[in-house]
C-alpha cells in the first residue's frame, strides 16, 4: 500500500513517509503456528475491505470505512506491487486459507515524535482465538530482528481493553496518554529492544 491507502482510504491513520521507506520494497512472508502474514494480493481486497467496513471491528479505530473505496484502493495497490517496509499486510488463517486480518506497521507522529506503530486488526468472527497476539508477537520480532527497529508503539483507545491486553502480552507497557488530531485521547503502549537475546512470550 506504500502509505497512500492508509492516508486516503483508512481515514485517521496518517502515514509520515520518509525517503528510505519509499525506496525500500519488501516481500512479506511470516508464518506462525496458525497464521501466514504476507504481502497484499488482489484477491485480498474484498475480505480486507469487509473488515475495515465492519462497525464492530472499527469501533475503536475511527469507525467503518467505505467498502467500495477501500476495496478499490487495495486492488490498485496490489496490482502495482507497491508495498513498503512500513505497511499493512494480509493475515491468512493457514487451516482455512481465509483472509482474517490486516496487520503491520505505520509511521506516526505522536506529540511531535516520529514513531512506528504496530497495527493489528482482525475480522470479528476470529476474535477470541488469540490470533491478534500470535500475529503481534511475530511482527514485534520482525521489527526488532529483521527491520532493526529499537522501539515500537501501539495507540489504543482506553475503552478497548482487549487490544490493550494484546499489547501487554507482547511486552508493551502503558507509557502515557496523548491527544490525537481531532481531539481523541489514546493510550500509548510501547516496547523497546534491549539486547540481542530479547524475547517476551
| Confidence (pLDDT) at 194 | 72
Q: pTM to 2 decimals?
A: 0.84
Radius of gyration of the chain (CA): 16
Contacts (Cβ under 8 Å, ≥6 apart) of 158:
177, 185, 186, 187
E strand segments, the chain = 29-31, 35-38, 88-93, 99-110, 113-122, 151-156, 173-179, 185-192
Instruction: Find, among 28, 17, 24, the residue nearest to 142 by Cα.
Output: 28
User: Per the structure block, which three cell numbers stand in for 191?
Assistant: 516496547
| Confidence (pLDDT) at 82 | 62
Instruction: Find, among 13, 148, 157, the residue nearest to 85 by Cα.
Output: 148
| Confidence (pLDDT) at 10 | 47
Question: Bigger pLDDT: 27 or 149?
Answer: 149
| Confidence (pLDDT) at 51 | 98
pLDDT digits (tens, 9 = 90+) for 69-125: 999 999 998 998 766 778 999 999 999 999 999 999 999 999 999 999 999 999 999
> Mean pLDDT, to the nearest integer, of 10-39?
63
Sheet order of strands, 185-192 included = 29-31, 35-38, 88-93, 99-110, 113-122, 151-156, 185-192, 173-179
C-alpha 64: how far from chain center:
16
User: Per the structure block, which three cell numbers stand in for 125?
Assistant: 468472527
> Mean pLDDT, to the nearest integer, of 55-69?
96
| Confidence (pLDDT) at 2 | 40
| Confidence (pLDDT) at 195 | 54
pLDDT digits (tens, 9 = 90+) for 159-184: 999 999 999 999 999 999 999 998 99
pLDDT > 90: percent of the chain? 77
Domains of the chain: 4-192 (3.40.630.30)
| Confidence (pLDDT) at 66 | 97
Lowest mean pLDDT among 14-23, 88-97, 132-141, 173-182: 14-23
| Confidence (pLDDT) at 81 | 77
Question: Cβ(121)–Cβ(103) under 8 Å?
Answer: yes
Amino acid at each position: 500500500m506504500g502509505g497512500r491507502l492508509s492516508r486516503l482510504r483508512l481515514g485517521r491513520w496518517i502515514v509520515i513517509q520518509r525517503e528510505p521507506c519509499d525506496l525500500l520494497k519488501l516481500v512479506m512472508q511470516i508464518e506462525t503456528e496458525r497464521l501466514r502474514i504476507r504481502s497484499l494480493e488482489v484477491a485480498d481486497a474484498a475480505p480486507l475491505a469487509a473488515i475495515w467496513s465492519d462497525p464492530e471491528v472499527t469501533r475503536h479505530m475511527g469507525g467503518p470505512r467505505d467498502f467500495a473505496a477501500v476495496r478499490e484502493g487495495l486492488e490498485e495497490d496490489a496490482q502495482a506491487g507497491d508495498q513498503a517496509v512500513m505497511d499493512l499486510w494480509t493475515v491468512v488463517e493457514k487451516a482455512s486459507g481465509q483472509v482474517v486480518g490486516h496487520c503491520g506497521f505505520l509511521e506516526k507522529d505522536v506529540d511531535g515524535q516520529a514513531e512506528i506503530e504496530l497495527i493489528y486488526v482482525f475480522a470479528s468472527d476470529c476474535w477470541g482465538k488469540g490470533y491478534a497476539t500470535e500475529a503481534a508477537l511475530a511482527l514485534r520480532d520482525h521489527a526488532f530482528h529483521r527491520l532493526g527497529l529499537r522501539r515500537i508503539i501501539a495507540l489504543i483507545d482506553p475503552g478497548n481493553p482487549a487490544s490493550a491486553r494484546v499489547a501487554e502480552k507482547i511486552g508493551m507497557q502503558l507509557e502515557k496518554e496523548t491527544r490525537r488530531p481531532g481531539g481523541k485521547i489514546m493510550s500509548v503502549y510501547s516496547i523497546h529492544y534491549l539486547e540481542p537475546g530479547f524475547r517476551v512470550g
